[in-house]
Amino acid sequence: MAGRNTLRQRGLKLWRLGESLEGLGLFLPAGLLLLVFTLWPAVQAVLLSFQDEDPFGRGRVFAGLANYAELLKDPHFRQSVLLTLRFALVVAFLEVALGLAAALLLQYPVPGIALFRTVFFMTTAVSTAVAAIAWGWFLHPVGGLLNRLLEGMGLPPQGWLTTPQWALYSLAVATAWQAIGFNAILLTAGLQDIPDELYEAARIDGATGPVILWRITLPLLSPVLFFVGVLALVRGFTAFGQIHLLTRGGPSESTTVWIYRVYQEAFFNFRFTYAAAEAVLLFLLLVLLTGVQFRILGRRVFYG
């Protein structure tokens, strides 16, 4: 009996070892890719931010916090931070608001609703380059569709991408548009999880549409709204493609947001150590803001 128990224990250990090795084998390819293309470059960027180019051409030398001190004194950097905050907040608001509106509209039981949901999700499948070309044509100051519509209504055309007062907000709309489909699908799934009995009981009690939305839909949808809001804010801080393809930071640096300034410092001014310091600060700010969101807004999320 003792020998049989020993064999059974050995077999169980071998089975557990086999499962562990199988799990390790499944994780290893993705883990190596993550290590090589994400974690290792991130560590190198942090190390690079504490270095500086030697003026005598002897490579890089340790500079401590010199790059960070210079950043805090740089007025162009401070301007890019303010532009980024404004841009990210507008993008996050548009993504959440328009995604919620689309999700509510997609709830109506009309013929072909599945097709409409597919069309909404296709905005996510469109590449940034293709979307930028389409938005560039739509917002073109001469012959663009939006300006043609304005002229048809007797209004003057606008330089949506060529004037500082409009460029940043036009880019925010173009950036948010690409995520509306993804957000709408997530919010639609959240809406479908809300029991119909709650709506029926509210209507029997005489609740109107706005009251039902405010008292039932939004509280029960708050976990998905919170998740979508966090992703939207991160996207606003890290949006690069639309800016690079439509305005390249112009006009008059009115769209030179933080991440685009990192690109300019690294690949135009060839100040790689300075750009690394900017990137590290951006990462730290994103971590801080995400933590604040979880700390403050996370308490108001209803998980009932």
CATH number for position 189: 1.10.3720.10
Q: Based on the domain organization, do 111 and 155 belong to the same domain?
A: yes
**CA separation, residue 129 to residues 102, 134, 170, 299 (Å):** 24, 9, 16, 38
Residue 56: inside a domain, yes or no? no
Higher pLDDT, 137 or 59: 137
Residue 235: inside a domain, yes or no? yes
Q: Based on the domain organization, do 180 and 263 belong to the same domain?
A: yes
Please report the pLDDT score of residue 8 as a whole number.
62
> What is the average pLDDT across 44-68?
83
Distance CA 18, CA 96 (A): 45
Please report the pLDDT score of residue 3 as a whole number.
53
Q: Based on the domain organization, do 129 and 269 belong to the same domain?
A: yes
pLDDT band at 299 (very low <50, low <70, confident <90, very high): confident
Q: Based on the domain organization, do 146 and 264 belong to the same domain?
A: yes
Q: Is the pLDDT of residue 65 over 90?
A: yes
Burial of 285 (0-12, 13-18, 19+ CB in 10 A): middle
Q: Based on the domain organization, do 148 and 290 belong to the same domain?
A: yes
Q: DSSP code of 297?
A: G
Q: Based on the domain organization, do 128 and 9 belong to the same domain?
A: no
Residue indicated by tokens 């839909």: 217
- Nearest Cα to Cα of residue 144 among 135, 131, 153: 135
- Nearest Cα to Cα of residue 231 among 239, 241, 240, 219: 239
Give the predicted TM-score (pTM) of the model.
0.88
Identify the domain containing residue 256 by its residue range: 70-300
Report whether 83 contacts 255 (CB < 8 A).
Answer: yes
Number of compact structural domains in the chain: 2
Report whether 111 contacts 288 (CB < 8 A).
Answer: no
Higher pLDDT, 118 or 291: 291
> What is the average pLDDT across 176-193?
92
Residue 206: inside a domain, yes or no? yes
Residue 64: inside a domain, yes or no? no
Q: State the DSSP H helix or E strand holding residue 178, giving kind and residue range, or none if neither.
A: helix 164-192
With a pLDDT cut of 70, the percent of the chain lying above it is 91
pLDDT band at 137 (very low <50, low <70, confident <90, very high): very high
Q: Based on the domain organization, do 38 and 91 belong to the same domain?
A: no
pLDDT band at 9 (very low <50, low <70, confident <90, very high): low
Residue 162: inside a domain, yes or no? yes
